[in-house]
Structure 1
């Protein structure tokens, strides 16, 4: 090791003869009798001291497919990628780092692995390769990785924000809302986040409200936010809107834009699209409320209660979508222009049993999460 350190000092630091250094490294790697640990340390010294991009690029071929140098290979790729990013050549940076298969690297520590994966996701987003972002994101399992406090504080926010960029591009409102909810403080004291981002809470509520109605998905999450998120009290207008949306009261503003509360992503760059979607969800909410109190209603009267004009909104199409989606149980009598609400034939039947079973499973899983947290806490304490 002393000999290798001297070689590094002579060729890299004193004379900066990097080509000679690479030739020496190539010769040493071919000599199978050399100590692998010493060679690995020597390679690490070279990577740390050399900043010449051409020399670093030539090292890729020397280190490639050398199992005992796989950790150094990852560090080399990471350094080259950083150099290309600093130069503004994102495409070359992506071409270099995308070839790195971290799943086959056993000696890499989690910190470096996550750093490289996050970098891969960032480059994909900047280049518009959103499908690749999803592929790289699958290599990070949040429940397993972010249970470590240092990794959680360092990478969790970056990971989720990069995913939100992808979902926002495809207008997947439910996934944006659920991803943002992971960044919010929960009811469990151990789940408290270090900081409260007002825009994240606004976006979370907005996207869950304008996503497709489902009692077990967005509505369940909205009720959970209403009951357990104390930060909503700091945003009275948002809390009022959420309370009304989850109630059985009609929402009939003179202008739908009165309800708009802009966040970082919601009602911002895609303002008109989000307003149109909010308007649709408000109409659906009002129809669900009306179905509670009416057995049948004339479509003209329904339009008046919904505060809409028949020329502006295709009410029949909305009703058909709600009936097909099991949001309401009704029949449309076109000749008479009537909407007849009918009783749910599955009420108290198999659907109700499935709903109870789903709720019980959800309760069981939440209890298991608590137990898992307590066991981990005990293990850490005894260690």
Structure 2
């Protein structure tokens, strides 16, 4: 097992002279690559490994590590292709906290201004607006064709399908932010899908716990709800109980008041 932490050593630091009695580590032979070169080779092998499972997020993280190598970051001819790959695999990765964190961190990279099309692509994914797949694909299909050599063969074809799937998932998340209740027909119209496809993608996202929703198929209505932790549920229950007790107290007061008035009228 290899720990990537071995690549965090700073080769620029001066090595301390060994003291008497210390275990002396022999220098590596000249033909063995440097530590940073080994780091690049290691992550390239990991990319090949993760590619077999189409683990886009881990592939993106590997390219991110390669991107941080000084020899790569100092040469635009090297870091631009790597940064493009980071952007593509970020878009292809399913939405989760890690993907969202990497997405926002990449958007803050000043080097992204050198490839404005990819900055626009990432910006669309963090903006809470519905993305039209046809217009997006029309704009980026040439960029995708140029990059298809690194996605390669069957994986490249699957990546195109996954890209469309990611856009659909993004649009469903956007709809869930703005609607608490929506008809399936309207949802399908917003997603530019058929009713069956819209229901399938929504069900898949609910099963993967990406969002909370209930589908009333006879009524053709979808209800979105925000996820609550145990503390939120208890606080909500306590607030509702307090409202109930206040209502009971006011009702008792009104009944007592009416009784007193009625008794006063009878005595008169």
Q: Distance in 1 between matches of 2:189 and 2:80?
A: 36
The equivalent residue for 2:89 is 207
| Structure 1 residue 241 corresponds to structure 2 residue 126 | no
Q: Is the 8 A contact 1:331 1:339 kept in 2?
A: yes
Q: Is the 8 A contact 1:173 1:211 kept in 2?
A: yes
Query: Of 107, 116, 121, which aligns to 1:226?
Result: 107
| Structure 1 residue 194 corresponds to structure 2 residue 74 | yes
Using structure 1 for the length normalisation, give the TM-score. Answer: 0.49
1:157-168 maps to which residues of 2 (within 5 A)? 157-168=40-51
Q: Distance in 2 between matches of 1:302 and 1:208?
A: 26
Q: 1:294 to 1:221 in 2, by over 3 A?
A: same
Cα distance per residue 1:78-119 (max 9 Å; x no partner) = xxxxxxxxxxxxxxxxxxxxxxxxxxxxxxxxxxxxxxxxxx
1:335-346 maps to which residues of 2 (within 5 A)? 335-346=218-229
The equivalent residue for 1:283 is 168
Post-superposition offset of 1:209: 1.9
Post-superposition offset of 1:251: 0.7
1:129-208 maps to which residues of 2 (within 5 A)? 138-139=1-2, 141-149=3-11, 151-185=34-68, 193-196=73-76, 197-208=79-90
Report the secondary structure of 2:182's partner residue: strand
The equivalent residue for 2:156 is 271
Post-superposition offset of 1:266: 5.3
Query: Of 194, 203, 217, which aligns to 1:309?
Result: 194
Query: Which consecutive unaligned segments of at least 5 residues does structure 2 have?
Result: 13-33, 234-268
Q: 1:202 to 1:265 in 2, by over 3 A?
A: farther
The equivalent residue for 2:16 is none
The equivalent residue for 1:59 is none
| Structure 1 residue 328 corresponds to structure 2 residue 211 | yes
Query: Which consecutive unaligned segments of at least 5 residues does structure 1 have?
Result: 1-137, 351-383
Post-superposition offset of 1:283: 0.5
Q: What is the total number of aligned residue pairs between the two structures? A: 205
Q: Distance in 2 between matches of 1:266 and 1:339?
A: 40
Q: Distance in 1 between matches of 2:43 and 2:203?
A: 36
The equivalent residue for 2:131 is 251
Post-superposition offset of 1:255: 5.1
Post-superposition offset of 1:163: 1.4
Q: Distance in 2 between matches of 1:347 and 1:202?
A: 41
Using structure 2 for the length normalisation, give the TM-score. Answer: 0.68
Q: Distance in 1 between matches of 2:211 and 2:229?
A: 12
Q: Distance in 2 between matches of 1:344 and 1:191?
A: 45
